[in-house]
Amino acid sequence: FSIVSSVFVSHICSESNVRGVRKEDLSTYTTLPFTCSTSQSLHSLSLINDNYCDCANCLDEPGTSASTLDPSSPRRHFYCENQGYIPKYIFNSFVNDGICDCCDGSDEYDLNGNGNVKCENTCQQKGNKIRTELKERIHRARLALDLRVDRYVRVAQEKLGGMRRELEQKEEELKLREPELDVLKDQKNLAEKQEEIQRRLLKEQLEKERGGQNVEIEQQKEEATGAEQTAAQADSTPSALSLEDQIHDTGAKVEQIKNSIEESPEIRDFKLDAPLRILKSTWSTVKRYYYSTLQYIYGTFNKTEAEKARAAFAAKEQEVSTLRSRITELKSTLDTDFGPDQAFFILKGQCFKLKDKNYEYELCPFDKSTQKDERGYGSTSLGKWGNYVGDETSADTSSHQKYRSWLMENGQGCWNGPNRSTRVNLHCGVDEKLTKVDEPSRCVYVMDFETPAACETEDLRNLEEELKKVS
């Protein structure tokens, strides 16, 4: 059983007497009965805005500060119509507080006639200013939308379409080149096996040559040593031979040893005219040259074929590797989400800078963000491309909303803190530019970035709606 409190007073209240409510809600306050709740109603409009809460929930006091006296009251706001400017709500506690909060002055009417505050209506003046600003923003938004279509969307479609065609061509080409690579690999392996066989035969031949010639060479060396000893004895022992005969005899022995050495296959092409002492000191050098020459002759036998096979395989391998790398790059790009209509594609590969105090900040979309200390302390990573994260402050739940912000994550670690990260808030603009960088919390950065690619027709409609409200 509900008790209905009623006050029967015959009174007509005009709409102009009801402050603090929207025009759409005026009928609620100008017709009887006035419903406070399911259990209470008023039957006199004179009780509306009388600075006293007749309803238990104070719904009858939209234009006074009376509702602020009741903590349980759901009524907390006064509506400023602000005709010619932007309507808004203010707290009921601001009503008749001696400060002009509404540009039309409706909040300072001094109900009891005891105040001396008079607020001028400045709505038209403020409205003219904001209308000018809104018209300029609408003009720039239209330009930016045209740029988005002509420069960003169209170019993205053309280039990405070209990449798809290139990917098909590269994949077809790779199908042809990989079997060719396999053939060349088999040819290289076969040539290298033949080369290895030649090396083994060379080793055996060298060992054979060394073994067969060692006896003869040792005999020649012994003869040379004996000749030296004989010559030394001739120098120290008196001889019956004349000096001329000794010279002739020694020369004959030298010639004999020389001819014997020249007839050996090891040094057939060498002309040895040095005395015996020089021959002895240079013999090891002559021997090394002989064997290195022999090794070169045997080593180059069929080596050219192996080198050709290796070179052909290496060239084809490089060709196939380049093809595979390009295919991977194309697939990575084509798999990337570049936003609505792929409009952000043109930003890939570009970097934008902003100087702020002692730092230079750089944003490279789809890559990284960095901070460079201009005092020479180096560069710090503020994060690498992560994903789209949307605008946390917006109530918009449309599919395009998630593209309003980017997250750059896993940057350089802070001392005893997290890895640095950057949130990039996108704004519609005619130019591409980094406009602001802030660090609201430790090692967490926020960048504001303008680009035509971020413009949507919805942004233009919102601006046009704002203009209607102040017109």
pLDDT tens sequence across 157-173: 999 999 999 999 999 99
Structure tokens at 74: 């759901």
Q: How much is the pLDDT for 273? A: 46
d(CA 70, CA 91): 14
Out of 355-359, 424-428, 466-470, the most confident range is: 424-428
- Pick the more confident residue, 14 or 25: 25
pLDDT, one tens digit per residue, over 41-72 is 888 888 888 888 888 888 888 888 887 655 55
Task: Please give the torsion angle defined by the CA atoms of residues 47, 51, 52 and 55, in that order, rounded to the nearest 10 degrees.
Answer: 60
Give the relative orientation of helices 457-469 and 123-147 as an angle to the nearest 10 degrees.
170
Q: What is the pLDDT of residue 1?
A: 34
User: Which residue shows structure tokens 């670690």?
Assistant: 413
User: What local confidence, expressed as pLDDT, does residue 274 receive?
Assistant: 44
Q: Is the per-residue pLDDT at 385 higher than 80?
A: yes
Name, in order, each residue with C-beta under 8 angstroms of 342's C-beta and a sequence gap of 6 or more: 153, 156, 157, 160
Please report the pLDDT score of residue 26 as a whole number: 86
Kindly report the pTM of this predicted structure. Answer: 0.60
How confident is the model over 285-289, as a mean pLDDT?
55
Give the chain's mean pLDDT: 79
d(CA 231, CA 236): 9
Sign, CA torsion 151/156/161/163? positive
Q: What is the CA radius of gyration of the chain?
A: 50
pLDDT tens-digit series, residues 318-355: 999 999 999 999 999 999 999 999 999 999 999 999 99
- Per the DSSP assignment, residues forming a β-bridge with 88 are 80
CB count within 10 Å of CB 30 equals: 17
Cβ atoms of 148 and 458 within 8 Å: the answer is no
Q: CB atoms < 10 A from the CB of 256, how many?
A: 12
